[in-house]
A and B are shown apart, each in its own frame.
Chain A
């Protein structure tokens, strides 16, 4: 069974641009969560989608948005990029919407903002 895949793996953008990251969950998984990882702030929750609905959102500005498609694939978008948005963006999928269900992480997308 294929794991969580994220594309692209690496991105370089300049300030003010926007970016879209993609996540394909494990087949059959309906929950997708996104996290931002930086050396200074660690791993921080961005948002979670379950059956195409955003179920929870972290403390990030409105420039960060996401969506989930009917096949459970998810995208996140960051508009008007800032230098501080440089980070590893991780996607995690889970089979069900219940808590205490194991989450599987993808390898991440490394975003560099110049």
Chain B
């Protein structure tokens, strides 16, 4: 079915530590995945994406890993900063002529000083 879920609703980390946010998806035909960050009072902000023909993609301080065998996605944030505190969503986009996104439930990342 159409579902993209998150393992942990809340993640608390110390400033400077690395953070790992996990996500599971159910549709084996999913071919494109996106991570969004949403701060209070704002709309989701694009962080990084990955296509299904890749296992890993790196951005600035962020890395996304994709394991298609177990349908699992993770977002790694290096040297977490207070400004990283937000809700993080993974989203899955189906193929075909559509921009429809299926979002996970979200993980609240709380960075402790």
A binds B: yes
* Subset of 5 A-B contacts with CB under 8 Å: A42-B104, A45-B100, A92-B43, A101-B99, A103-B101
Residues in chain B near residue A101, CB distance under 8 A: 99
Partner pick for A107 among B34, B41, B51, B101, CB 8 A cutoff: B41
Q: State whether A103 and B42 are in contact (beta carbons under 8 Å apart), knowing that A55-B98, A97-B97 are contacts in the complex.
A: no
Closest to A97 in B: B97
Contact A102 B101 (CB under 8 A): no
Q: How far is the CB of A7 from chain B (nearest CB, A)?
A: 14
Contact B103 A99 (CB under 8 A): no
**Restricting to A54-68, which residues have a CB under 8 Å from any CB of B?**
55-56, 58
Give 1 or 0 for each of A89-102: 1 = CB within 8 Å of chain B CB: 01010100111111
Partner pick for B106 among A4, A42, A99, CB 8 A cutoff: A42
**Restricting to A15-50, which residues have a CB under 8 Å from any CB of B?**
31, 33, 35, 42-45, 48, 50
Q: For the complex, count residues of A whose C-beta is within 8 A of B.
A: 28
| Pair count A-B, CB < 8 A | 76
Please report the C-alpha to C-alpha distance between residue A55 and residue B100 in the assembled complex, in whole angstroms. 9
Residues in chain B near residue A43, CB distance under 8 A: 44, 89, 91, 101, 103, 106
Q: State whether A94 and B44 are in contact (beta carbons under 8 Å apart), knowing that A42-B105, A42-B106, A100-B51 are contacts in the complex.
A: no
Closest to A3 in B: B43
Residues in chain B near residue A45, CB distance under 8 A: 100-102
Residues in chain B near residue A107, CB distance under 8 A: 41-43
Question: Taking each of A4, A43, A48, A55, which has the highest tally of chain B beta carbons within 10 Å of its own beta carbon?
Answer: A43
Residues in chain A near residue B49, CB distance under 8 A: 100, 102
